[in-house]
Structure 1
Amino acid sequence: MQIEFRNVTKKYGQIAAVQDLSLAVLRGEFVTILGPSGSGKTTALMLLAGFISPTEGDIRIGGHSVAAVPSYRRDQGIVFQSYALFPHLTIRRNLEFPLEMRGARAAERETRVDRMLERVRLKEFGDRMPSQLSGGQQQRVALARALIADPPVLLLDEPLGALDRNLREQMQSEIKSLHKEFGKTTICVTHDQEEALTLSDRIVVMRDGRIEQIDTPEALYDRPATRFVANFLGEANIFENPGFNMECDVTPPLGSIAMLRPERICIATRAAPQPPDADWRQFVAGTVEDMIYAGPMRKYHVRAGRSMVIIREHVAAGKQIFGIGEKVRLDWLRSDVRYLIT
């Protein structure tokens, strides 16, 4: 294991920001810690960075305990949401700084800075000041500075939170490319679900200082274990008392509730022919109460029984649009229904 949290607790007075956290991260893995404000995700990153010390437990990097090692002695690259570039230094000098701290010679520094500037597509910007760059360019400099000294571990603290949507998507691709190229063990903290799903090998969902669930992005989204994970990672239809009988192919666990993702549901007129796999589907009548156009997606809110069901479908030429008050039929594969603990 490259990184290990062993029963780590961090308390502020009587309040535990992180409680009994145990997590193992493989060498070269990209792991995102995801959760709402107050979940403990940032505290976990600050513990790993060495900015705060655990109240209980141990943190190990490369097999060695670092719980008592100060941050400046941990061989890690860190990227903050605010970028934390030195405003009085040029981009080149910002990149040289971590190499100077490690005693690299001038010729080596120049070579490595040139190579890194070219890698992040900022070769012509080395003599500019950070204030002369766009947000996306500053973020690329921050990533370059974190990587240039070749640390084994890279820490990302809400790295794209200050960017607009288009820039975030561009930088997500840039981070994925850099991770593939450099192969650094990476821990990223974010509250952005899309960011976590796009970047990660595994996602750690935290709640109230504890791990709620750990899994791959696909498994977490498709098979959430709890109601909290289902609602936090994307939209979810939760059927507690739906007003119709939920059909399923398995015996639901005792005390569980049914969940269905909005994109798994099909909407059609009530008179539409049944699909070829009708024997594996459940059909429910409903009435459209709202329709929201969101670019590539169209979202419906349909009253079915006692439930308000959310349906998401891709906008496509020739696809029927249903208006408010229209009587419709919903259907879904029974195998797409998941059962959650509360």
Structure 2
Amino acid sequence: MPIQIEFRNVTKTYGSVSAVRDLSLSVCRGEFLTILGPSGSGKTTVLMLLAGFVAPTQGDIVITGKSVAAVPSYRRDQGIVFQNYALFPHLSVRRNLEFPLEMRGVKAADRTARVDRMLDRVHLKEFGERLPSQLSGGQQQRVALARALIADPPIFLLDEPLGALDRNLREQMQGEIKSLHKEFGSTTICVTHDQEEALTLSDRIVVMREGQIEQSDTPESLYDRPATRFVASFLGEANIFENPGFEVEADGAQSPGTVAMIRPERICIGAPGNSARADEDRRQSVPGVVADMIYAGPLRKYYVRVGSSMLVVREHVGSGQQIFKPNDDVRLDWLRSDVRFLANGR
């Protein structure tokens, strides 16, 4: 796909603080890109730079081949959704949706038809005359999404769009956002600190740290093959083998300056006397003692002391499983091919 958005060596400073440092990033047309990172990583500044709410200190931002670094936000053809929805409280749902069409000079008859279609699309056909205060949080979020998309912008920006919703509603809205992206095809940039949200929604994830890109890849590759210790620990849980008290076996040699890592769900837990697996020659097996077990609905999470390490094991709950308790002796094993080597990073 052709590149639609480019950040070219962009830096944004506030006094002596660099919120974004020498950022170079390209986004393809129609891509759903999520920028993920902890507070202070620069992810929101990147979105504000693209939206035109702040200007870069150095570098350039290019959209479809043209520099927009000096173009004000109201002249950029973009839709944006904020965490707090930012709906006009004194206007009905219908009038909220009509507003961006009015600003673009769309005729009244066309506005009415487009609003009707959009209300139907976001399942709010019966709520057009209500005020935002008369809607639930999920309904307000759908209005915000609809208002941002109704003018069919080529670029769609999401700033922590689901942060104000409870868990069940967030999961429901994730499906709605994916469906709307597929239907409208806008190039979408989403900023979030929610790892699950990023993995669920994205074609590609950019992990930021201290104003710079730590790693950029597809969700599956980023989770399964993180490049650095920071990415592995930030995106999901990770068992880092640092002075573990036993030799960690892996396919391939460990390079200097790296640490070994394995994800908790890649580790199997069983009783010490369990019979060998069919692929035992491809596995490493170590004895351990359960320190704690946490039941979390579909999962059990075990904390197991092995040597000088505390390993986390995540097991899907199923019928007939043996359940281990604190102080139980267990055997852990994993495929050597599931061990990853990570750069320790800065």
Mapping of residues 225-240 of structure 1, within 5 Å: 225-240=227-242
2:195 aligns with 193
TM-score by length of 2: 0.98
Shift of 1:323: 0.7
Partner of residue 312 from structure 1, selected from 314, 321, 337: 314
Q: Deviations over 1:149-194 (max 9, x none)?
A: 1110000000000000000000000000000111110000000000
Which ranges in structure 1 are unaligned for 5 or more consecutive residues? none
2:12 aligns with 10
Distance in 1 of aligned mates of 2:37 and 2:57: 22
1:151 aligns with 153
DSSP 3-state at the match of 1:38: coil
Alignment pair present for 1:165 and 2:161 = no
Distance in 2 of aligned mates of 1:215 and 1:133: 37
Q: How many residues align?
A: 342
1:141 aligns with 143
Distance in 1 of aligned mates of 2:64 and 2:82: 23
Q: Deviations over 1:220-259 (max 9, x none)?
A: 0000000000000000000010111111110111121000
Alignment pair present for 1:53 and 2:55 = yes
Counterpart AA for 2:314: R
Counterpart AA for 1:161: G
Alignment pair present for 1:339 and 2:341 = yes
2:329 aligns with 327
DSSP 3-state at the match of 1:78: strand
Distance in 2 of aligned mates of 1:47 and 1:248: 43
Counterpart AA for 2:239: N
Distance in 1 of aligned mates of 2:130 and 2:323: 52
2:180 aligns with 178
Shift of 1:14: 1.3
2:224 aligns with 222
Counterpart AA for 1:246: V
Counterpart AA for 2:270: A
DSSP 3-state at the match of 1:290: strand
1:287 aligns with 289
DSSP 3-state at the match of 1:163: coil
Partner of residue 100 from structure 1, selected from 96, 99, 102: 102
TM-score by length of 1: 1.00
Which ranges in structure 2 are unaligned for 5 or more consecutive residues? none
DSSP 3-state at the match of 2:220: helix
Distance in 2 of aligned mates of 1:13 and 1:26: 33
Deviating beyond 2 angstroms after TM superposition, the runs of 4 or more aligned structure 1 residues are none
